[in-house]
Chain A
């Protein structure tokens, strides 16, 4: 690898969306040589064939142990290999463990050149986690809305209320019992199922 050229980065991730987010971030930052690996069966041979300078892997991936083999003196890899972190880097490995990312360097790439790659991966990884969280929350909000609509319908029918009155009844009950409206609505649905 030339001193000025972009290092070859392999992203090992079974989540295609997250891998795409990482790749996009790296490309935007000027790292143009990025390859994604989502097939774990032939991981080691893929990596040997690609011969990357940096490997980024998700910590929830059990195949992480497979990569440890590359840091052994073995006949398959004839050049010396080392993990990028050393004792002075306890903070960056801490950050990468917190974010769920681990980075390995497979050749003599300078640490100062690796730092921006890792920082970028960590921020993208966190952004993905946030996105996932928001998505989950949006999903559960949508679920809540559906449940509330159905509970309102039941109240309107059983108690002869209009829609606004039914909603006010749900909300005031939730406030009185210190629960979410969705929870109260769910209990109404459950109760009406039982009483059918």
Chain B
């Protein structure tokens, strides 16, 4: 007997494991009849998961934490038994802003501290000349894009709430918005940065992995009561997705994966752009410069698929830092408990003795992050730079 599952996703390259699992028959081999439902907004994915129209969802890593804590919306306990990818974002700016930053830069353009400080000088000059503040697009209030932009800017001494404007834009709107001058830059996932470069309206300034070496990006989200009631279906789903993520990481399979993802019912963009993303070889400049990033996006490598409570704690800390919620040790614990390595290990038939090596976030600046010492972390941030 097969188990029918409805799974919501947003057309992005990091939905690769879900799409490949279905298209290569990995879900079917596990006795699952998965129907993928393409959605137009993260709010829809969240709501349809929360109220049970979806059994599982491809979603921004901070959203299940926000739902479990009841932030910004109804409180629904969600569990994350699998990380769909680490990293995969980039910060893209308009050619004009890129030139302004390069005119001010003192140091390596690949060093986010150097670009953040240069941006800070650009912002100060604009303010002196009574110019409109720079506007940056990101995808959702509870998103890594929002947090990565803010982290980067704050490191350079910019207050992201006072000195610039951050606006939410649906990912497919980013490229048109930068082309029309409505925004000066954005942080978004693949393929939209590459598409902006291809259209000559954007330059990729940083890969997300420049800001943080290891950041949970999209996760598989499931309602907790459903997870408890359906442990076998959950384990089967996790296994099929791990298999698909590993398949997509094999260099010889990338062409096939790119062709599948490119189809109209999935992402509907050129397969060549998708292939570049999977290879971590991105055209970053309108002049054709290619940059390779071994950590641009991790689907399965380096234990990427294992949900890590450290990542959940980090995301909670960003919510606190940017005043989306007050600091509470109880909420921190609840946030960490959303990411469930135990479910992941059980699905893969490990008995829990397999200890995943703790891997740091690897942020380019700021104090070391220790969930056990989160208050010291905030104190050090406040003393170090920016307004916490």
Taking Cβ atoms with an 8 Å cutoff, the residues of A that contact B are: 41, 44, 59-69, 71-75, 83, 85-87, 89-90, 93-94, 97, 102
Contacts and interface: CB of A to CB of B under 8 A. Distances in A.
Contacts of A73: 323-324
B137 to A, nearest CB: 10
A68 B140 contact: yes
A68 B42 CA distance: 10
A118 to B, nearest CB: 14
Contacts of A62: 40-41, 170, 172-173
B70 to A, nearest CB: 8
Interface stretch (B80-88, B160-168, B198-206, B267-275): B160-168
Interface string B49-63: 001110000000000
A111 B140 CA distance: 26
A65 B43 contact: yes
Interface stretch (B71-79, B109-117, B122-130, B239-247): B71-79
B40 A60 contact: yes
B253 interface: no
B139 interface: yes
Nearest to B51: A94
A66 to B, nearest CB: 5
B44 interface: yes
Given A41-B182, A72-B141, A73-B324, 15 more contacts: A59-B44, A62-B172, A63-B170, A65-B170, A66-B170, A68-B43, A69-B168, A71-B72, A74-B161, A90-B51, A93-B47, A93-B51, A93-B74, A94-B53, A97-B47
Give me the 9 closest cross-chain CB pairs, A-B, nearest first. Answer: A62-B170, A64-B41, A62-B40, A69-B168, A65-B41, A72-B141, A64-B43, A94-B51, A66-B168
A72 B53 CA distance: 26
20 contacts: A62-B40, A62-B170, A64-B44, A65-B139, A66-B168, A67-B43, A68-B43, A68-B72, A68-B140, A69-B167, A71-B141, A72-B72, A75-B162, A83-B72, A85-B73, A87-B74, A87-B75, A89-B74, A93-B47, A97-B53
A41 B39 CA distance: 20
Nearest to A98: B53
B169 interface: yes
B48 interface: yes
B43 A102 contact: yes
Interface in B165-212: 167-170, 172-173, 182
Contact of B48 (A63, A75, A97): A97
Nearest to A96: B47
Contacts of B167: 44, 66, 69
Contacts of B141: 68-69, 71-72
Nearest to A83: B73
A75 B161 contact: yes
B259 to A, nearest CB: 26
Given A65-B140, A66-B170, A75-B162, A97 B51 contact: yes
B174 to A, nearest CB: 11
B57 to A, nearest CB: 14
Interface in B242-295: none
B132 to A, nearest CB: 13
Given A75-B161, A75-B162, A86-B74, A102 B47 contact: yes
A167 B288 CA distance: 65
B68 to A, nearest CB: 13
Contacts of A74: 161
Given A72-B141, A83-B73, A94-B51, A66 B169 contact: yes
Contacts of A64: 40-41, 43-44
Nearest to B47: A97
Nearest to A75: B161
A65 B40 CA distance: 9
Nearest to A63: B170
Nearest to A88: B74
A83 B44 CA distance: 14
Contacts of B72: 68, 71-72, 83
A65 B47 CA distance: 12
A95 to B, nearest CB: 10
Interface in B297-356: 323-324
Contacts of A65: 41-43, 139-140, 168-170
B154 to A, nearest CB: 16
Contacts of A69: 141, 167-168
Contacts of B168: 65-66, 68-69
A90 B74 contact: yes
Nearest to A95: B51
- Residue of B41, B139, B324 with most chain A CB atoms under a 10 A cut-off: B41
Nearest to B141: A72
A44 B47 CA distance: 21
Contacts of A89: 74
A73 B53 CA distance: 29
